[in-house]
Amino acid sequence: MRSDTSDKSPERRFRPGRRTLIAGAVCAGTVGLHRLLAHEPAGSSAAPAGAAPAPGPPAAPGGGLGAQSYRLRPFAAPGARSPRLGESVRRQNVPVREAAAVTLPVKGDKIALTLDDGPHPEYTPEVLKVLRTHRVRATFFLIGENAEWNRDLVRAIAADGHLIANHSWSHPRLDTLSRKRVRSELGTTSELLERLLGGAPGWARAPYGAWDKASLEVCAELGMEPLGWSVDTNDWARPGSEEISEAVLEGAHSGGVVLAHDGGGDRSQTVAALRHCLPRLIDRGWSFVLPAPGPV
């Protein structure tokens, strides 16, 4: 399980000198060039006004796996506050589930592809290209703070006919949070997606699949159904594109829900695996489905 690191307190202030200001300007220019080279989508927004940018996953010694995966390190430090939930998220009469569904109630050779932790400015567009090539629709469980920084990419996912769902604001374990924090994590994300797309999501996935009674109740109050998975590619650990592809090909079953990731680190292996396994599944007669429309 991921370990957390403590961030510097926002109360600590210092008075920058001339050299510090010059160094800051150089750094800002470097960041701008990096975004240009990385083809960051136009219109991507900064963090909410007055808030510090969300920190990325801290690098592990030697730049190893710890620097790449949400599975090991969350964006936000323990106790970090999400933006306040407004009143625009529509509440629907959704029953409280005892647990998240892990399969879909479909018959025949039908399977659902789901992708977590995006949108990512580099890998999400690559995933979209693969899906477009093979005419596959998928469900994207988005991190709210990533969606905030990549708004045009959120719209691009929806424009391609994919289903957009809620994966919390900052990827914490919901079963460790107060009810108020859970509502903030899920509600703020739904509110953002509603503003961007004109409708709040009808499906949610807890980070790590870690639901509890309180978080399932909040999920229902916000008009969402919880969804887990039955085929885990373990792509977050970057085991190699062949292993990721084999997990999908060997694990495919009627109504199965495949878990993969388009964000949270280097997802080049996932992109390569999808290029390999999707046409083979289609050749074997499999079709890809989305969860039934949610209550919104």
Q: Where are the domains of the chain?
A: 110-288
* Domain 110-288 architecture: Alpha-Beta Barrel (3.20)
What pLDDT, on the 0 to 100 scale, is given for residue 92?
Answer: 60
Conformation bin of residue 88: beta by default, left when phi > 0, alpha when psi is -120 to 50: alpha
Phi, psi of 218 (to 5 degrees): -65, -40
The tens place of each residue's pLDDT in the chain, 296 residues long, gives 333 333 333 333 333 443 343 344 434 444 343 333 333 333 333 333 333 333 333 332 223 333 333 333 333 333 333 333 333 444 568 999 999 999 999 999 999 999 999 999 999 999 999 999 999 999 999 999 999 999 999 999 999 999 999 999 999 999 999 999 999 999 999 999 999 999 999 999 999 999 999 999 999 999 999 999 999 999 999 999 999 999 999 999 999 999 999 999 999 999 999 999 999 999 999 999 999 864 43
Q: Is the peptide bond before 119 cis (omega within 30 degrees of 0)?
A: yes
What residues act catalytically?
A: 116, 261
CA angle, corner 187, sides to 182 and 193, nearest 5? 140
Beta strands per DSSP E along 150-202:
163-166
Q: Residue 3 in 3-state DSSP?
A: coil
Q: Residue 288 in 3-state DSSP?
A: strand
Q: Is 247 exposed, middle or buried (0-12, 13-18, 19+ CB in 10 A)?
A: buried
What pLDDT, on the 0 to 100 scale, is given for residue 93?
Answer: 82
What pLDDT, on the 0 to 100 scale, is given for residue 164?
Answer: 98
CA atoms within 13 A on the CB side of 39: 7
204 within 8 A of 225, measured Cβ to Cβ: yes
